[in-house]
């Protein structure tokens, strides 16, 4: 066998070995992804007052209640029930940002409730963008469907975000929504009437 044939055979064997290794790694990665999707890890349960790291935000839920008034204190023309969740948010990124609409959702209430409206606790105004390193106390407010009474217990899901230096759509850096990272069991306080919550 000539040196040329020997070198060709060695290159062929090396290519075959590399291909088999690549296929094996791909199969393992694919199998692991399928297993994780079929067997998701249980969500972390966070208590009231416990801080949850969502990626871009540090979130601490402190309480919840039902009221016939929004945080502004302006009584609606028609009787309504509002679900209020009080929390603190700390922007950990390098730039000013708005809270994501998917920050809070409720287990078993998918499609029933719209995204919450965020109010600043200090002046009851609708929350705008929050600055990095300046934690704010806020209230998330949902208008409960007419004719229905909010349950006394709910499971609040806290969503997460991940930073991508270059996203797949525009090639720009951005924070992208991800799955919830924690669940907070809420015992909803009885409905308060005639005054906005403090």
- Give DSSP secondary structure letters for 95-119: S-BPPPTTSEEETT-TTTSPPPEEE
pLDDT tens, residue by residue, 61-116: 999 999 999 999 888 888 889 999 999 999 999 999 999 999 999 998 766 788 99
Instruction: Could you list the beta-strand ranges (E) of 6-149.
Output: 44-45, 51-53, 57-67, 82-91, 104-106, 117-120, 136-143
Is 57 among the domain residues?
yes
- Residue 35's pLDDT is what? 52
Is 23 among the domain residues?
yes
24 and 104 both lie in a single domain? no
104 and 126 both lie in a single domain? yes
Specify whether the backbone of 108 is left (phi greater than 0), alpha (psi in -120 to 50) or beta: left
Q: List the domain range (segments joined by +) for residue 174.
A: 44-192
79 and 114 both lie in a single domain? yes
CATH number at residue 123: 2.60.40
70 and 9 both lie in a single domain? no
116 and 139 both lie in a single domain? yes
23 and 73 both lie in a single domain? no
Is 17 among the domain residues?
yes
* Model confidence band, residue 184 (pLDDT cutoffs 50, 70, 90): very high
What is the C-alpha separation between 41 and 31, in angstroms, rounded?
A: 16
Mean pLDDT of the chain: 85
**The whole model's pTM is what?**
0.75
18 and 99 both lie in a single domain? no
35 and 64 both lie in a single domain? no
């Amino acid at each position: 066998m000539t040196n040329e044939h020997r070198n060709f055979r060695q290159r062929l064997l090396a290519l075959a070995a590399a291909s088999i290794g690549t296929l094996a790694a791909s199969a393992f990665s694919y199998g692991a992804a399928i297993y994780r999707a079929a067997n998701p890890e249980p969500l972390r349960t966070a208590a009231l007052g416990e801080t949850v790291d969502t990626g871009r935000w540090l979130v601490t839920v402190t309480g919840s209640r039902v009221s016939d008034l929004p945080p502004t204190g302006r009584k609606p023309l028609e009787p309504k029930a509002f679900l209020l969740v009080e929390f603190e948010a700390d922007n950990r990124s390098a730039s000013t940002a708005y809270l994501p609409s998917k920050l809070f959702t409720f287990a078993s209430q998918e499609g029933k409730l719209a995204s919450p409206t965020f109010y600043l606790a200090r002046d009851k105004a609708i929350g705008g963008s929050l600055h990095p390193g300046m934690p704010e106390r806020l209230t998330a407010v949902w208008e409960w469907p007419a004719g229905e009474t909010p349950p006394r217990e709910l499971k609040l899901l806290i969503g997460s975000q991940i930073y991508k230096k270059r996203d797949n759509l525009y090639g720009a850096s951005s924070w992208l929504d991800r799955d919830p990272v924690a669940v907070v069991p809420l015992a909803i306080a009885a409905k308060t009437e005639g005054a906005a919550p403090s």
